[in-house]
Chain A
Amino acid sequence: EVQLVESGGGLVMPGGSLRLSCTASGLPFNDAWMSWVRQAPGTGLEWVGRIKSRVDPETTDYAAPVRGRFTISRDDSKNTIYLQMNSLKIEDTALYFCSWLGTTTSFHSWGQGTLVTVSS
């Protein structure tokens, strides 16, 4: 069974930075494409970005609202991906989910999420 555990959320002031982590188990992590998806309070799902596997080679893609501010990276030795969030805005407040892309086009497993609150 695939398990994804996010951590690192918290309260941060506008303009600040935060780094989220997601540790995976139960899947061939070295070959896995991983993604971050967020959900603002009371709203729907929003894709944040994706990182391909090292052989692909670790290509990253981002949604327009976060491009240039957020960076996804991975450490295959720790079965972990990261989301570095800089220049945070109030509208970045959301529950951030880590997800495994079981196919190129679909999110097959999800973590429980970590909450990021951007507020002064």
Chain B
Amino acid sequence: QSALTQPASVSGSPGQSITISCTGTTSDVGNYNVVSWYQQHPGKAPKLMIYEGSKRPSGVSNRFSGSQSDNTATLTISGLQAEDEADYYCCSYAGNFVFGIGTKVTVL
């Protein structure tokens, strides 16, 4: 399985909304409700932000939302805050797990 495709970087100003795309195939991302998203700050462990495409774990801000269309999943961060600056990874399950290459989010 090849790594899922994500933009290398996305930036936005505080208060803005940004989106991060995650593109795969019909065998992975296209298999609905199998995509999850992780936030990773430098030197820290990843943190689950979205699972099964659009569900938020307890404690994750509702500024984070997930959606999907065909073979592309999308993470939206609304009301961007300085603390959102981090790397974000999507992940899909198709028997095995495959991660995206990661997107660096910069808050301007």
Tell me the A residues contacting B by CB distance below 8 Å. Answer: 35, 37, 44-47, 50, 61, 63, 97, 102-113
Assuming A44-B3, A45-B38, is B99 touching A105 (CB within 8 A)? no
The B contact surface, by secondary structure, is strand
Cβ contact within 8 Å between B34 and A63: no
Complex Cα gap A105–B99 (Å): 12
Cβ contact within 8 Å between B3 and A47: no
- How many residues on B have C-beta within 8 angstroms of the other chain's C-beta atoms? 26
Tell me the B residues contacting A by CB distance below 8 Å. Answer: 3, 33-36, 38, 40, 45-48, 51-52, 57, 87, 89, 91, 93, 95-102
- List the 9 closest A-B pairs by CB distance, nearest first: A106-B51, A47-B97, A105-B93, A106-B36, A110-B45, A44-B102, A45-B99, A105-B34, A45-B89
Assuming A44-B100, A106-B48, A107-B48, is B95 touching A61 (CB within 8 A)? yes
Number of inter-chain CB pairs below 8 Å = 63
Assuming A44-B99, A44-B102, is B38 touching A107 (CB within 8 A)? yes
Assuming A44-B100, A45-B38, A47-B98, is B93 touching A110 (CB within 8 A)? no
